[in-house]
Structure 1
């Protein structure tokens, strides 16, 4: 059984990989990090389509948070000045705004710094809250 949360991201996306490297270096979340392409998604209870769609935060007990909520959890785990920001992002109405910004960035990640055509989400992606 895992004792630390797990951050699952799209390892094929240059923007996602750059973002995770930034978080590891500067934010320093207290978690393990893996690309979904190397994770045992079935054991984590995560559909591959969801993992390709959004960043995921998996607690040691198996609760999965996605998108902006996963980012909020990452920030809260880092402590210091990051935890209050993460807590704010988890509360309405900031949670709603964070979700909108996350979807805008995620849906256009191939256009972001470090992004490539390989970063584009598939057209038949599922909708997840």
Structure 2
């Protein structure tokens, strides 16, 4: 088990890097936020292709989540009010908005 969760983004994408910075500043999830280019993807259990396709959330233990599900998972792991927003994204019909 890892010490903390990990958020993996594409460090070659300017928008992705900007979003990761805002995520770190505003949401402050209990996770390491790192570009896939600097991550040990094998240890984290995700592939380069997965990371090129979508943001990845790798919990301390459990299966990774990608894209909108990754955003929902990291919000649920964060402090209020972000946790409440994550809970709203779990309501029926909301998952389609994040994917």
Q: Could you say which residue in structure 1 is the equivalent of 2:61?
A: 61
Q: Could you say which residue in structure 2 is the equivalent of 1:52?
A: 52
Alignment of 1:1-129 (within 5 A): 1-99=1-99
Unaligned runs of 5+ in 2: none
What is the CA-CA distance between 1:95 and the residue it aligns to? 0.8
The question of whether the paired residues in 1 share the 8 Å contact of 2:67 and 2:98 is answered with no
RMSD over aligned CA atoms reads 1.2
Partner of 2:92, secondary structure, is coil
The question of whether the paired residues in 2 share the 8 Å contact of 1:44 and 1:62 is answered with no
Q: Could you say which residue in structure 2 is the equivalent of 1:103?
A: none
What is the CA-CA distance between 1:87 and the residue it aligns to? 1.4
What TM-score do the two structures reach when normalised by structure 1?
Answer: 0.72
What is the CA-CA distance between 1:62 and the residue it aligns to? 4.3
Give structure 1 regions of 4+ aligned residues with deviation exceeding 2 angstroms. none
Give the structure with the larger strand fraction.
2
Counting matched residue pairs gives 99
Q: Larger radius of gyration, structure 1 or 2?
A: 1
Unaligned runs of 5+ in 1: 100-129
